Amino acid sequence: MLTLYHGATSVCSQKARLSLAEIGLEYEGHLLDLMTGDQFDPDYLKLNPNAVVPTLVDDGTVVIESSLILEYLDETYNAGKLMPRDPELKAKTKLWLLRCLAIHGAINSLSFATVLRARQMAGKTPEQLEAMLRQMPNPISREKRRDLLENGVDSLHVEAALREMRSALADMAAMLAQYHWVSGPDYGLADIALLAYIDRLDRLAMSGLWEDEFPEVADWLERSKMRDSYKTAIASFVDPSAAEKMYQTAVTFWPAIARTWSDIRNGS
């Protein structure tokens, strides 16, 4: 039996759920509340010592890292049909899966510098916040989170994130100028891996990052959202009124994000 430990709106969990939905697999879900710290539960840490979601357990086999979960499910239950056969497209798809580590870092920075900052700090005393930060096992991630909570959109991690996304969006647009999907002619693992990240940016009112310059990405996002897997894995886990509230908060950060984006675009 497949068991998924996941977060309702966590991007990496959305990736895992998208692949489960694309392949048509049933699973037992355990939802963790990342804002209150379920990921630090000692029993969960035995499964995922990084204190993050998602974690897939397949009859006792534990698989962590969302991109590896996508590949694992496709290879184990789908005869690898979501991985292109063509060697060049296969290498490109594998590169996207690898790049997801950096892309995830960028999305994490942009989320915590804006809407998640207030959410994580809400109702916590400085001591409680510090206690939460201390629970993060990786000191680099911990210090990054501290910086984002302290400095918000002025954190240097925001500029680094926007540079990462600029390169990713340009490369996605280049693939989409040639093929129907980022994976190639057929929908595949690269599309699944990227959808949750681009959807998050859209929900953070940051579609201005691609609308003028990379319209192929806007078109791809619309087409991806029409797939049943999007409804099952992403939309059905989102509370529309919470999403609207998040968008209205996010919009207030756009001018600052747009300024940094424009500096990067102009080569400064």
Rounded distance, CA 114 to CA 72, Å?
Answer: 33
Least separation in angstroms between residue 85's CB and ligand GSH is 25
Tell me whether residue 80 or residue 105 sits nearer to ligand GSH (CB atom). Answer: 105
Work out the burial of residue 24: count CB atoms within 10 Å of its CB; fewer than 13 is exposed, 13-18 middle, 19 or more buried. Answer: exposed
For residue 9, the minimal CB distance to ligand GSH (Å) is 9
| CB of 34 vs ligand GSH, minimal distance in Å | 5
**Using rule CB under 6 A, residue 104 touches ligand GSH:** yes
Provide the 10 A C-beta neighbour count for residue 133.
15
Residue 34 or 217: the one with the smaller Cβ distance to ligand GSH is 34
Both tokens of 182, joined, read 């980022």
Round to whole Å and give the CA distance between 54 and 149: 23
Pick out residues in 5-34 that bind ligand GSH (CB under 6 A): 7, 10-12, 34
Q: Which is nearer to ligand GSH, 39 or 114 (CB)?
A: 39
Name which of 10 and 229 has its Cβ closer to ligand GSH. Answer: 10
Instruction: Tell me the per-residue interface mask from 49 to 78 with ligand GSH, x by CB under 6 A, - otherwise.
Output: ---xx-----------xxx-----------
The least CB distance from residue 115 to ligand GSH, in Å, is 14
Is residue 203 a contact residue for ligand GSH (CB under 6 A)? no
Q: Are strands 28-31 and 2-6 parallel, antiparallel or unpaired?
A: parallel
Q: Rounded to the nearest whole angstrom, what is the least distance from the CB of residue 169 to ligand GSH in the complex? A: 19
Give the residue nearest to ligand GSH (CB). 52
* Under rule CB under 6 A, residue 174 binds ligand GSH: no
Q: Which of 91, 98, 101, 131 binds ligand GSH (CB under 6 A)?
A: 101
Long-range contacts of 256-265 (CB under 8 A, 24+ apart): 256/153, 256/154, 257/110, 257/114, 257/153, 257/158, 257/162, 257/206, 258/208, 260/153, 260/158, 260/159, 260/162, 261/162, 261/166, 261/208, 261/209, 264/159, 264/162, 264/163, 264/166, 265/166, 265/213
Cβ atoms 11, 95 nearer than 8 A: no
* Per-residue CA distances from 204 to 44, 70, 217, 252 (Å): 29, 25, 16, 10
**Cβ-based nearer residue to ligand GSH, 45 or 258:** 45
Considering the complex, what minimum distance in angstroms separates the CB of residue 253 from ligand GSH? 19
Size of the site for ligand GSH (CB under 6 A): 13
Closest CA to 68 of 56, 60, 79, 58: 56
- Cβ proximity to ligand GSH: between 65 and 216 the closer is 65
Q: Residue 38 or 186: which CB sits closer to ligand GSH?
A: 38
- The residues that touch ligand GSH, with contacts defined as CB under 6 A, are 7, 10-12, 34, 39, 52-53, 65-67, 101, 104
